[in-house]
């Protein structure tokens, strides 16, 4: 008789061990756990760059795919201790069906390519670039639609500002309104289309980064995600952090959350571009969890923090 395969769950592990075991792991892990209890999961910006090779052997300017996400790994409980050696000794555990209902989806792994034009290796980079260009197009249409809504005089000509250059068109705002109405007939408004594309773009992940990992290293992590721009029946699920929550994140890790990154809208601290996934249907995210896994020395404090929560607390050493 065939053996029953072990049950598997989804885990969000923390704090990440970037350079071995941090001296403040217990303190930082407890602080993150308390933040998850109070304001949910932080959807943190990550930027990946994709370049496609041209026929003359040169590479395109890197296309920057900006994602806001929270990452989970599908594991059997017996695999968690090994996973913790890299990703941290604390973890939130969700049953598979619950995690799906919360909006968790698997990432779409794409080979980044080696920078050469051999065969079709660079198809994924080209696809990411085209998706990026479609996103730029939808951004422009959304901005135009917003301008039309705010204008009382539809006879004004449309003027497009591209960085330092102004482009004067022969179209009035009224004519542009008619064109947008025709283009979006029987489809969602351009703002919703744009947000849907941003949502989809949050699931693209390189199969590896050969500067740091071996071939297919990311692919083998079985990663799923929550990403920004989630909505149900037209209602946004994510929210911006309050100033108090921003300060809390900076206290947890000022170097990480305070780092300035370049986004499409300019340079911003990472924390100022985060969003939160706090609750679904009036229930806190932590109350959907099956278990919370912590190192043995953190058990008492974790139980205090999670008093009244539905999730049980178990020691990593017992997994």
Q: pLDDT tens per residue, the chain (319 residues)?
A: 556 667 999 999 999 876 555 668 899 999 999 999 999 999 999 988 888 888 777 888 888 889 999 999 999 999 999 999 989 999 999 999 999 999 999 999 988 766 666 777 788 888 888 988 899 899 989 999 999 999 999 999 988 877 778 888 889 999 999 999 999 999 999 999 999 999 999 999 888 877 667 777 888 889 999 999 998 888 899 999 999 999 999 999 999 999 999 888 889 999 999 999 999 999 999 999 999 999 999 999 999 999 989 899 999 998 8
- The C-alpha atoms of residue 168 and residue 179 are separated, in whole angstroms, by 17
Cis? peptide before 76, omega within 30° of 0: no
User: Which pLDDT score, from 0 to 100, does residue 18 have?
Assistant: 63
User: Which pLDDT score, from 0 to 100, does residue 1 have?
Assistant: 54
User: Which pLDDT score, from 0 to 100, does residue 115 have?
Assistant: 63
The tokens describing 105, both together, are: 């989806």
In DSSP terms, 71 is beta-bridged to: 225
- The C-alpha atoms of residue 99 and residue 93 are separated, in whole angstroms, by 9
Output the pTM of the full model.
0.86
User: Which pLDDT score, from 0 to 100, does residue 219 have?
Assistant: 80
User: Which pLDDT score, from 0 to 100, does residue 126 have?
Assistant: 87
The angle subtended at Cα 304 by Cα 258 and Cα 69, nearest 5°, is: 35
Nearest to 11 by CA among 69, 110, 101, 77: 77
The Cβ-side half-sphere exposure at 133, using a 13 Å CA radius, reads: 9
User: Which pLDDT score, from 0 to 100, does residue 216 have?
Assistant: 77
User: Which pLDDT score, from 0 to 100, does residue 3 have?
Assistant: 61
The angle subtended at Cα 121 by Cα 117 and Cα 126, nearest 5°, is: 80
User: Which pLDDT score, from 0 to 100, does residue 25 have?
Assistant: 87
User: Which pLDDT score, from 0 to 100, does residue 218 have?
Assistant: 81
């Amino acid at each position: 008789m065939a053996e029953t395969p072990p049950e598997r769950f989804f885990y969000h592990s923390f704090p990440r061990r970037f350079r071995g075991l941090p001296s403040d792991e217990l303190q930082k892990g407890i602080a993150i756990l308390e933040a998850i209890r109070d304001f949910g999961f932080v959807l943190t910006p990550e930027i990946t760059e994709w370049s496609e090779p041209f026929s003359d052997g040169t590479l395109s300017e890197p296309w920057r795919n900006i994602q806001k996400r929270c990452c989970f790994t599908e594991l059997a409980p017996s695999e968690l201790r090994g996973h913790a050696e890299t990703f941290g000794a604390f973890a939130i555990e969700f049953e598979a069906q619950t995690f799906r209902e919360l909006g968790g989806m698997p990432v779409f792994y794409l080979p980044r390519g080696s920078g050469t034009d051999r065969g079709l290796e660079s198809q994924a980079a080209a696809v990411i670039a085209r998706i990026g260009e479609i996103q730029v197009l939808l951004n422009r249409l959304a901005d135009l639609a917003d301008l039309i809504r705010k204008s009382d005089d539809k006879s004004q000509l449309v003027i497009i500002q591209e960085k330092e250059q102004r482009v004067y068109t022969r179209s009035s705002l009224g004519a542009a309104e008619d064109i947008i109405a025709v283009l979006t007939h029987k489809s969602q408004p351009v703002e919703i289309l744009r947000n849907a594309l941003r949502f989809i773009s949050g699931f693209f992940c390189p199969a590896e980064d050969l500067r740091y990992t071996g071939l297919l290293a990311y692919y083998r992590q079985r990663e799923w995600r929550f990403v920004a721009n989630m909505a149900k029946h037209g209602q946004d699920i994510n929210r911006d952090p309050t100033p108090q929550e921003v300060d809390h994140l900076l206290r947890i890790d000022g170097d990480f959350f305070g780092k300035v990154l370049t986004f499409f809208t300019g340079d911003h601290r990472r924390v100022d571009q985060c969003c939160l996934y706090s609750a679904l249907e009036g229930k806190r995210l932590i109350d959907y969890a099956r278990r919370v896994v912590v190192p043995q020395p953190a058990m008492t404090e974790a139980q205090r923090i999670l008093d009244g929560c539905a999730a049980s607390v178990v020691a990593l050493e017992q997994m």
